[in-house]
Amino acid sequence: MRTPGIIAVVGPTATGKTRRAVALAKELDGEIISGDSRQVYRDMDLGTGKDLEEYGTVPYHLIDVAPAGEKYNLHRFLHDARLAEEDIRSRGHLPLICGGTGMYIEAFLNDLNLPEVPENTSLRESLKGKSLEELTAILAEMKTLHNTTDVDTVKRAVRAIEIQRFYEDHPETAISSKPRPRTDAIIVGIDIPRDIRRQRITARLKSRLDNGMLQEVADLLAGGISADDLIYYGLEYKFLTLHLTGQLSFNEMFIQLETAIHQFAKRQMTWFRGMERRGFTINWLPYDLPDDEFVEKVKQLYI
């Protein structure tokens, strides 16, 4: 196999993806593009697991590129990731994309070209007042629901319906958004036993709470970010906001958040297994390999 055009490091949360991508970047003269849908936001550090200290001198992209409170999306990610890849290549370096947001990474590796979908005021008005269950049913009639990301909240469900309606009203956009799988990509997955993954998720959650994650969310609220906007981001920001606004006790928050992260990790793996069924080859390597062995095994995939 010839030298790859890009290497993707994927896997569920708490598996050490960043450390592995950094090790590869140091060995292969690379730079890292974050494939995480929440690390794009500034001032959302502990809750998104940026772990910036792990990068050392390795350049990274698509972290801290949008203010907290914005609604970054797949269209913007694809645009920004392509610019980042061009920038990395212009300096003769190898691009690596690292993250757990399967939808973002798969779309990028499929070279999708998505149009910006404008807000549909009349549609939003017609959906006003509908429950999440009702919105989910509407969306399910419009397309097959491959995951629950689109229907985590009422806002997400309304937006998903809005996007699907746009595609139905503008069928010509389907032509430009057909997958064109890249042939120059090597995908490496971090394989970890389920019980160890669960242990690492719990330990990491406790560590982040000990290191000020609750204060991070409190500062965002005090800085003017609405509770609804933080809940929109899900997981840590959802449950810590519910605690800070008096809707959950600390223990309730911890238990519900821990459960939600475990469920999220399971959904991540479901997505990556789905990618394999859709024709992608993911080379799974053990989570506990020493860095030098991990790098050598990746190099063997294309040498």
pLDDT at res. 147:
56
Helix axes 250-277, 235-244, angle to 10 degrees: 160
Tell me the average pLDDT across 144-152: 62
Q: What angle do CA 131, 134, 140 make, to 5 degrees?
A: 140
Residue 177 pLDDT class (50, 70, 90 cuts): low
Check pLDDT > 50 for residue 129. Answer: yes
Given a contact cutoff of 8 angstroms between Cβ atoms, the answer to whether 5 and 30 are in contact is no
Q: Which of 175, 163, 176, 195 is nearest to 266 (CA)?
A: 195
The CATH code belonging to domain 6-114+184-300 is 3.40.50.300
Half-sphere exposure of 245 (CA within 13 A, CB side): 16
Structure tokens at 87: 């920038």
Helices (H), 91-153: 102-109, 121-127, 132-142
Q: Which of 141, 145, 182, 139 is nearest to 162 (CA)?
A: 139
pLDDT (tens digit per residue) in 195-229: 999 999 999 999 999 999 999 999 999 999 999 99
Residue 139 pLDDT class (50, 70, 90 cuts): confident
pLDDT (tens digit per residue) in 82-115: 999 999 999 999 999 999 999 999 999 998 887 7
Q: What is the pTM of this model?
A: 0.83
pLDDT at res. 144:
67
pLDDT (tens digit per residue) in 255-272: 999 999 999 999 999 999
Check pLDDT > 60 for residue 174. Answer: no
pLDDT at res. 175:
47
